């Protein structure tokens, strides 16, 4: 039968290797090769009237086949010889062969064209077995040698996959189909989609549509290669998860590192000045790594609060300044609620501002609470509950800071608290603000007043005597228990008081 077995020429992409890295190469000369034959990808069949083979058969032949009960003779021409420019001319190659020819011992590049009667239409697929990574590479090219006479209905195609062969895309430029080429030629395909892929692979499909004028050879492939020009190291700090960062608060800097770094390399996160300049960068974190990752960072306490900072990542081996993160950073000062303190207040004292009792230079503007409920920032001995009052200060991008004032109430009864009143003539009447009032019984005026602390040391205080009343002014005196001695002539009286600041 006329042209029953014709070998379809398939376009083979050949990549120039000038100053390029070879990422994949297959000449089909070894006992094992890097292609899986006769898969069902892209609507293809695993068996049928034609199949993919790998061998070094170039000789055709004649035989007969039976169709519809009648014998038909066919003739398969020799496959054209390969040119000297190929890696191993006339060696093993990947090609389509008809099963009828194979049954007759004819194993070269040929095919049985679909005629709608004896041979049905079908597609046949061969794919790379493993993925190739082109991450960090540019100008990726897929090259091969090919031939295919075929026809407009019997032709080869080239497909690529970037997801490990789960899906396939036709590499349609140039060209979309490979035929009308009866001798070996080299083809190269280079598409932007080939670069920067972690799982790139290629496949060849032979399309056998119904035809009455197809010719051998079929689709044949040899010397397949993937090459790429390396772009060198690329280091970039990614966008930050937050643009407002609190001093002394931990945050992450993600970075992308493409290329090669040496063992022992450090990736260092750096902070610019408030104008975005890295003339004098501040180190904020480091990671010992040779690939993309995350740096745990922290802005130091001494950095001025404000907007306009930038963050970048640099490397030490090799040394490289990375592209800064696109995020413009606002640095905020960490909140400071002061230090915890204990406060004793006299039961008959005036209301006390809790903020004034905090130690450690607290920041104003915070919120006060008691037992989890918001409260006023004033302790009134007559109405407020005793216990610990919590002060919370916040700032954008920062964790809240807290401090507490734990208040105790003292009845402040002076000498009346003693079990025996050896000197009942002097009584302490309490504290108002920084002033204490004591009274001598009988209204006798005092001649001299002396105040000592619990250790017996004299304390310099201002005082006034008005008849039998003694007013002590103790604004600069620390909180504590003090003894007051009041003399009148040859007599003297003692009283104890509790001073609260």
Read off the pLDDT of residues 154-172 as tens digits, 9 standing for 90 and up: 999 999 999 999 999 999 8
Which residues have a Cβ under 8 Å from the Cβ of 383 and sit 6 or more positions away? none
Task: Give the model's confidence band at 486: pLDDT under 50 very low, under 70 low, under 90 confident, else very high.
Answer: confident
Quick one: pLDDT at residue 256? Answer: 94
pLDDT value for 416: 38
Q: Where are the alpha helices (DSSP H) in 200-307?
A: none
pLDDT value of position 421: 36
- The Cα 10–Cα 185 span in angstroms is 10
Q: Specify whether the CB–CB gap between 332 and 306 falls below 8 A.
A: no
CA distances from 337 to 353, 356, 393, 486 (A): 15, 12, 6, 42
Domains of the chain: 21-230 (2.60.120.200), 234-332 (2.60.40.10), 341-410 (2.60.40), 414-499 (2.60.40.3080)
Closest residue by Cα to residue 329 from 306, 297, 298, 313: 306
CA distances from 436 to 154, 197, 311, 342 (A): 112, 83, 59, 21
Using CA atoms of 190, 191, 194, 196 in order, give the dihedral in degrees to the nearest 10.
110
DSSP string, 230-241: E---EEEEPPPS
Q: How many CA atoms lie within 13 A of 278 on its CB side?
A: 14
Assess whether pLDDT exceeds 90 at residue 366.
yes
Residue with the two structure tokens 């169709």: 67
pLDDT of residue 420 exceeding 50, the answer is no
Nearest residue to 218 (alpha-carbon basis) of 145, 148, 124: 148
**8-state DSSP, 417:** G
Tell me the per-residue pLDDT of 274-298, one tens digit each, with 9 for 90 and over: 999 999 999 999 999 999 999 999 9
* Percent share of the chain, pLDDT over 70: 92
Q: E strand or H helix at 490, and its extent?
A: none
C-beta of residue 489 within 8 angstroms of C-beta of residue 474:
no
Structure tokens at 6: 């014709």
**In angstroms, rounded to a whole number, what is the distance separating the alpha carbons of residues 120 and 118?**
7
Q: Are 498 and 410 in contact (CB under 8 A)?
A: yes
Q: Is pLDDT larger for residue 496 or for residue 278?
A: 278
Q: What is the DSSP letter of 354?
A: H
| Least confident range of 241-245, 357-361, 363-367 | 357-361
Report whether pLDDT(443) > 70: no
Residues 6+ apart with CB under 8 A from 160: 142, 168, 169, 171, 191, 193, 194, 200, 201, 202, 203
Residue 387 pairs in a beta bridge with 407
Residue 314 scores a pLDDT above 70? yes
Q: What angle do CA 178, 184, 190 make, to 5 degrees?
A: 55
Rounded to the nearest 5 degrees, what angle is found at the Cα of 336, between the Cα atoms of 333 and 337?
Answer: 150
Tally the residues of the chain: 501
Q: How far is CA 182 from CA 51, 78, 247, in A?
A: 19, 11, 73
Question: CA of 479: how far to CAs of 84, 224, 346, 476, 501, in Å?
Answer: 104, 90, 11, 9, 5
Distance CA 54, CA 37 (A): 9
Distance CA 176, CA 499 (A): 97
Residue 187, number of CB atoms within 10 A of its CB: 20
Distance CA 432, CA 500 (A): 10
**Residues 370-419: tens digit of each pLDDT:** 999 999 999 998 899 999 999 999 998 898 999 999 998 877 654 333 33
Which range, of 15-24, 115-124, 349-358, averages the lowest pLDDT? Answer: 15-24
SS (H, E, C) 173-217: CCCCCECCEEEEEEEEECCHHHCCCCCEEEEEEEEECECCCCECC
Segment 107-153, tens digit of pLDDT:
999 999 998 888 999 999 999 999 998 887 778 999 999 999 999 99
Instruction: Report pLDDT for 392.
Output: 97
Query: Is residue 443 classed as helix, strand or coil in its secondary structure?
Result: helix
């Amino acid at each position: 039968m006329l042209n029953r077995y014709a070998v379809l020429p398939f376009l083979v992409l050949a990549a120039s290797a000038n100053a390029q890295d070879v990422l994949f190469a297959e000449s089909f000369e070894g006992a094992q090769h890097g292609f899986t034959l006769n898969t069902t990808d892209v609507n293809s069949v695993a068996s049928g009237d034609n199949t993919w083979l790998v061998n070094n058969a170039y000789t055709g032949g004649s035989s007969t086949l039976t169709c519809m009960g009648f014998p038909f003779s066919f003739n398969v021409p020799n496959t054209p010889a390969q040119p000297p420019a190929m890696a191993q001319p006339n060696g093993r190659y990947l090609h389509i062969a008809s099963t009828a020819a194979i049954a007759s011992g004819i194993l070269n590049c040929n095919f049985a064209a679909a005629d709608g009667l004896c041979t049905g239409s079908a597609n046949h697929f061969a794919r790379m077995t493993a993925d190739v990574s082109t991450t960090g590479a540019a100008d990726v090219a897929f090259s091969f040698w090919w031939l295919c006479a075929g026809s407009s209905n019997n032709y080869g195609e080239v497909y690529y996959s970037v997801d490990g062969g789960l899906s396939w895309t036709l590499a349609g430029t140039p060209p979309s189909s490979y035929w009308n080429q009866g001798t070996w030629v080299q083809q190269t395909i280079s598409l932007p989609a080939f670069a920067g892929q972690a799982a790139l692979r290629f496949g060849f499909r032979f399309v056998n549509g119904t035809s009455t004028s197809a010719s051998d050879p079929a689709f044949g492939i040899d010397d397949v290669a993937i090459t790429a020009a390396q772009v060198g190291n690329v280091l970039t700090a990614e966008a930050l998860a937050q643009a407002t960062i609190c001093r002394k608060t931990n945050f992450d800097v993600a970075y992308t590192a493409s290329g090669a770094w040496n063992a022992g390399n450090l990736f260092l996160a750096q902070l610019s000045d408030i104008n975005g300049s890295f003339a004098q960068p501040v180190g904020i974190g480091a990671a010992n790594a040779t690939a993309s990752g995350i740096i745990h960072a922290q802005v130091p306490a001494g950095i001025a609060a404000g907007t306009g900072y930038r963050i970048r990542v640099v490397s030490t081996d090799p040394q490289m300044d990375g592209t800064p993160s696109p995020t413009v950073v606002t640095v905020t000062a960490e909140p400071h609620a002061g230090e915890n303190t204990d406060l004793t207040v006299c039961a008959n004292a005036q209301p006390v501002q809790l903020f004034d009792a905090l130690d450690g230079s607290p920041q104003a503007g915070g919120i006060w609470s008691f037992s989890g409920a918001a409260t006023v920032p004033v302790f009134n001995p007559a109405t407020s509950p005793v216990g610990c009052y919590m002060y919370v200060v916040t700032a954008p991008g920062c964790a809240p800071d807290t401090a507490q004032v734990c208040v105790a109430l003292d009845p402040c009864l002076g000498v009346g608290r003693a079990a025996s009143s050896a000197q009942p003539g002097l009584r302490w009447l309490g504290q108002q603000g920084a002033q204490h009032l004591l009274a001598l019984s009988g209204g006798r005026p005092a001649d001299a007043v002396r105040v000592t602390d619990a250790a017996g040391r004299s304390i310099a205080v201002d005082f006034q005597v008005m008849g039998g009343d003694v007013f002590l002014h103790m604004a600069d005196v620390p909180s504590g228990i003090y003894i007051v001695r009041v003399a009148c002539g040859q007599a003297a009286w003692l009283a104890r008081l509790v001073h609260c600041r």
